[in-house]
Amino acid sequence: MGSVKDLQVIHPPEDTATGIGRFLFSNRYSVFDWGEMPDQIPYKGESIAILGAYFFEKLNELGIRNHYLGMVEDGIRKSYTELQRPSNIMEIQLLRVIKPFQNGGIYDYSVFKNLKGNFLIPLEVIYRNSLPKGSSVFRRLRTGELSLKELGLKEMPEPGQRLTEPVLDLSTKLEITDRYLTWDEAKDIANLSEREMFEIRSIVMRINRLITEEYKRIGLTNEDGKIELGFTPDRELMVVDVLGTLDECRFTYRGIPVSKEIARIYYRKTSWYKDIEGAKMLDRQNWKSLVKKSPEPLPPRLRELISLIYRACTNEVTGREWFKNVPPLKELLEETMDYL
């Protein structure tokens, strides 16, 4: 499935019918599109799975269609509220994943012109409520890939700047390296109608508000996050993958990052990261083969702190003590400052 979770297929999707699968959330983590890192974050899998289930059931309350079917405990599918203990297994509806044809680094999306429904939309939609330090927006503004007009701004923003209105951004989903797109480019490659584009914007904005409100309750700021969607067999939009977790979103507490951004900030100070940036400038498609160094494991205490932050966040957002003997989130975040 990927670098941080695995997929168990129970019934594969067909041309006109969804399948059934299970996400198995692991303790692995990934930064900078590198793939699996050399160490793991204890309890991360259960923390992400529980938090994801919590937000999917909130979507159900709001009437937003999604692929979530329930959590699995002792081999049995249950509602999130029926779980007796943390689980890292989520059962979902499966859509077809149809990849664009690749020829010499050029992607051909013509296959999507003839698809009606029951497939993953090959896009990631990113909402941005602010522009925290480290956001890709600053690099793209410097290189001219993105304009101030597209952001609705008149002058160059500063790191940490809050946006008056959320901005929606788009990138590819099924390419070797994610590539940012304009809305017109996204509409074309995924063969979306104007109505569908409007509905995608509306769904993502509603989800952004939900996540913002839920994290505000525990004193955190929702900076940005990503949403993935697909079409049901009847070509109705459906939210897929996972949402609202520390892997899909970027949160802060008084400017302190509360997500895997902690690991990103740590690794940005290493020579390995400098090699990655240089390799991507030389070859966006095959950059990994140009990186000669491998990342070192996280310092043991920082790894433990990140693990505790995942668990504390799940406890506090859901209002249930899934993980015992976990210090308050704000106390943990203060200690991480020594590493950042």
**pTM reported for the whole predicted model:** 0.91
Identify the pLDDT of residue 164: 86
**What tens-digit pLDDT sequence spans the chain (340 residues)?**
567 899 999 999 999 999 999 999 999 999 988 888 999 999 999 999 999 999 999 999 999 999 999 999 999 999 999 999 999 999 999 999 999 998 877 899 999 999 999 999 999 999 999 987 778 889 888 888 888 887 778 888 888 888 888 999 999 999 887 899 989 999 999 999 999 999 999 999 999 999 999 999 999 999 999 999 999 999 999 999 999 999 999 898 987 888 788 898 899 999 999 999 999 988 877 899 899 989 999 999 999 999 999 999 999 999 999 999 999 999 999 888 887 7
Domain boundaries, position 267: 5-339
Beta strands, E only, 197-242: 221-231, 237-240
Identify the pLDDT of residue 2: 66
CATH number at residue 198: 3.30.470.20
Q: How far is CA 91 from CA 78, 79, 84, 207, in A?
A: 9, 10, 17, 21
What is the number of domains present in the chain? 1
Identify the pLDDT of residue 1: 55
Q: How far is CA 1 from CA 6, 127, 143, in A?
A: 5, 24, 32
Contacts 24+ apart (CB under 8 A), 274-283: 276/32, 276/34, 280/177
Question: The tokens 């890709």 sit on which residue?
Answer: 136
Question: The tokens 């433990």 sit on which residue?
Answer: 304
Identify the pLDDT of residue 136: 83
For residue 215, the one-letter residue type is: Y
Q: 184: which 2 tokens?
A: 């017109």
Do 331 and 337 touch, CB atoms closer than 8 A?
no
Identify the pLDDT of residue 112: 96
Do 196 and 237 touch, CB atoms closer than 8 A?
yes
131 burial level (CB within 10 Å; 0-12, 13-18, 19+): buried
Q: Shortest CA distance to 22 belongs to which of 31, 9, 41? A: 9
